[in-house]
Structure 1
Amino acid sequence: MSTAPAETPPRSVPETAAAARAEDVSKVYGSGDTKVTALDGVSVEIPRGRFTAIMGPSGSGKSTLMHCMAGLDRISGGEVYIGDAALSTLNDKRLTSLRRDKVGFVFQAFNLIPTLSALENITLPMDIAGRKPDQEWLDRIIETVGLRQRLSHRPGELSGGQQQRVACARALASRPEIIFADEPTGNLDSRSSSEVLSFLRDSVRDLGQTIVMVTHAPDAAGYADQVLFLSDGRVVDRMYNPTADRVLEQMKGFDLSGGTSR
């Protein structure tokens, strides 16, 4: 695939300030005739305090990469780091603690508890861990999420976009080092999608959060600071300061039926 000359990353993004990184990561499922290589020697750095989108054709490995970098799936080779912690060196207990204390998650399904209020859903992970929230930080999140008047409402009394913003606030509440979002607007209409993506962007800009988002939508990727493009389990390109039109043009270079670039 022909691409524009490599762009220079923004000067405000130190190349060494990685919240997470993958070094020559491979992920293989099955063996023999059923062997599938989902990731093939992937090396990437996720800059701290930035919004990174991951895109690629179906089957390109984008969700697998996110799951491996988040510690939700074990890698077959290479190494993944969150901060300075090498995930392959952690046993299940320590890995669970790291995910609880340093990682936030937002999924396509909102995963809210229907009997709890919006505020109770936001603080639930800390309540389970027996930790009290930092009230000043929690107030900043609530202000950013824009739902202060809806905190006493249960999920069934909120719109889809409002429920997903509650889920985003829940991920932010424990002040994780990094948040992984897997198709967070996949179940939302265009207006609700814009609400959630604006909130994610604002949490990076105003709160210094680090976010990695897997998405298939060029419009969603346009909210990010950079986009990583995957094809056949490999990172094939990177775009800084993306726009929806530029991302769409880049995606046209992929053969969606085979997951390869032309």
Structure 2
Amino acid sequence: MTTTYTSRVPDAASAPAGVAAARATDLSKVYGQGETKVVALDRVSVDFRRAEFTAIMGPSGSGKSTLMHCMAGLDSVSSGSALIGDTELTTLKDKKLTKLRRDRIGFIFQAYNLLPTLNALENITLPLDIAGRKADKAWLDRVIETVGLSGRLNHRPSQLSGGQQQRVAVARALASRPEIIFGDEPTGNLDSRAGAEVLGFLRNSVRELGQTIVMVTHDPVAASYADRVVFLADGRIVDDMFGPTAESVLEHMKSLDARVRTS
């Protein structure tokens, strides 16, 4: 389903000078061998700067989700380097990688992944509870206010709309103050109004909370909420845009789709 939103130009119209929250260097991911070999990522190098909202786009099969999964430590790397801050993911053992994902990375997916028996507040604090960490109340209150959930904290998922459930998922990702949040089509299951609300909350979390967000999306208007769009094709980064608009992103995507069809 193609989702459309009311477009708005993001606050940052140019690349801010900042330190990388995550970095890939000559990152490759290969599946299979011989005749079944598929090169999903081909020597990709990219920085994701702190307090910046980056969208990753590309035609189907371009490697955008694979890049996000490798950078988030959800998939292994065939060669090259993937860092969160100054920590190299490719050298971490499973236990340390799990701890890094828990303590330093937030995730927002298309499916809300909320526990139906817990209310909104309990779902938001669940990762902290599992880690045995106490929530910073001032930060948690600020996150809840930013995503507009103050009046819904005692409601269970079945009592919330899809947009409200995704707001809970956003708040859950923000609650632990991660260094970076990765989103995989986070508004893909939402209607246009709910999608615009969630994108607005993500935009606000960057502007008001200093959060770093990297989002995979297929939607040019969703990408227009970002500070920057990174375009992939055939497993390689082929373009990089700052201050995107829905129209400029759409033109880039049309060009990439045509290139893929004729290659």
Question: Unmatched 5+ residue regions in structure 1?
Answer: 1-8
- Identical counterparts, % of pairs: 70
The answer as to whether partners of 1:60 and 1:259 remain within 8 angstroms in 2 is no
Q: Deviations for 1:5-61, whole angstroms, at most 9, x for unmatched residues?
A: xxxx836323xx000000000000000110000000000000000000000000000
Q: TM-score, normalised by structure 2?
A: 0.93
Ranked by relative contact order (alpha carbons within 8 Å, sequence separation 6 or more), the top structure is 2
Cα 1:186–1:90 shift into 2, 3 Å: same
CA distance in 1, matches of 2:96, 2:226: 31
1:138 and 2:140 matched: yes
Give the aligned partner of residue 215 of structure 2.
Answer: 213
Give the aligned partner of residue 259 of structure 1.
Answer: 260
Give the aligned partner of residue 178 of structure 1.
Answer: 180
Give the aligned partner of residue 241 of structure 1.
Answer: 243
The answer as to whether partners of 1:218 and 1:245 remain within 8 angstroms in 2 is yes
Moved over 4 A (4+): none
Q: What is the deviation of 1:261? A: 7.6
Give the aligned partner of residue 21 of structure 2.
Answer: 19
The answer as to whether partners of 2:14 and 2:227 remain within 8 angstroms in 1 is no
Instruction: Name the SS for the 1:148 alignment partner.
Output: coil
Q: TM-score, normalised by structure 1?
A: 0.93
The answer as to whether partners of 2:29 and 2:79 remain within 8 angstroms in 1 is yes
Q: What is the deviation of 1:139? A: 0.4
The answer as to whether partners of 2:23 and 2:82 remain within 8 angstroms in 1 is yes
User: What does 1:31-42 correspond to in 2, within 5 Å?
Assistant: 31-42=33-44
Instruction: Name the SS for the 2:151 alignment partner.
Output: helix
Q: What is the deviation of 1:255? A: 2.6
The answer as to whether partners of 1:219 and 1:244 remain within 8 angstroms in 2 is yes
The answer as to whether partners of 2:15 and 2:228 remain within 8 angstroms in 1 is no
Q: Deviations for 1:142-176, whole angstroms, at most 9, x for unmatched residues?
A: 00010100000000100100000100000000000
CA distance in 2, matches of 1:137, 1:13: 25
CA distance in 2, matches of 1:131, 1:169: 16
Cα 1:261–1:162 shift into 2, 3 Å: farther
For this pair of structures, how many residues does the alignment match?
A: 251
CA distance in 2, matches of 1:147, 1:79: 38
User: What does 1:60-71 correspond to in 2, within 5 Å?
Assistant: 60-71=62-73
CA distance in 1, matches of 2:104, 2:215: 17
Question: Unmatched 5+ residue regions in structure 2?
Answer: 1-12
CA distance in 1, matches of 2:24, 2:242: 19
Match for 1:259: what amino acid?
V
CA distance in 1, matches of 2:238, 2:118: 43
